[in-house]
Amino acid sequence: MGGVPDWVEFRRSEAAAVIDLVRAVAATGDPGEHGDGVEVVIEAPRKGWVGRLLDDGQPEQARIAVTKFGGAVRYPFHVQLVTDHGGAAARRLPRVPGWAVSNSNGLAFLIQKGTGERWDWAALVGGAVAALSALRPDADEDGWRAGVDRAVRRG
């Protein structure tokens, strides 16, 4: 996974800035630095020092694949959940109509199903934030952040 150079902070209940990031990436059709697509990364607030001591110390992420290979924008959209739970995170998520979950080779994914070209960016971002919230019920309302990762390599 690549890096995110610039972060936008937001409150969990006010994700309009994240929706704008997703919309902007989709509008460009950006294939990313390696041609594998671009992700909008959402991070939950970092745990306190004791929490980081007991886990891997990395923030939990939802990595929304906004564009696919070559910059294509189309359903289904997948959200990779990068947490201490690994692939088992998929089993911990509530089942929601229009969404699927997958534990694929030890990686947890949330998949937004749909058809056509009427993208529901608010639902995509809302689903990603809700998934992280379900996995991190102790996360504060403040301190969430999002950014664009153009250095994605899928393979």
pLDDT of residue 139: 92
Residue 62 lies in a domain: yes
Residue 155 lies in a domain: no
Query: Where are the extended beta strands (E) located within 1-155?
Result: 7-10, 39-43, 61-65, 77-82, 99-104, 107-112, 144-149
Residue 110 lies in a domain: yes
Tens of pLDDT, residue by residue over 7-61, are: 999 999 999 999 999 999 999 999 999 999 999 999 999 876 565 556 666 789 9
Residue 33 lies in a domain: yes
Residue 39 lies in a domain: yes
Q: Which domain holds residue 15?
A: 7-149
Q: How many CA atoms lie within 13 A of 65 on its CB side?
A: 25
Residue 41 lies in a domain: yes
Residue 134 lies in a domain: yes
* Amino acid (1-letter code) at residue 8: V
Alpha-carbon span 124 to 92, nearest angstrom: 18
Residue 95 burial (CB count, 10 A): 7
Q: To the nearest 5 percent, what fractions of the chain are helix, strand and coil?
A: 30, 25, 45
What's the total number of domains in the chain?
Answer: 1
Residue from 38, 37, 36, 82 nearest 60 by CA: 82
Band of the pLDDT at 115, cuts 50, 70, 90? confident
Tens of pLDDT, residue by residue over 98-114, are: 999 999 999 999 999 98
Reported pTM: 0.91
Residue 154 lies in a domain: no
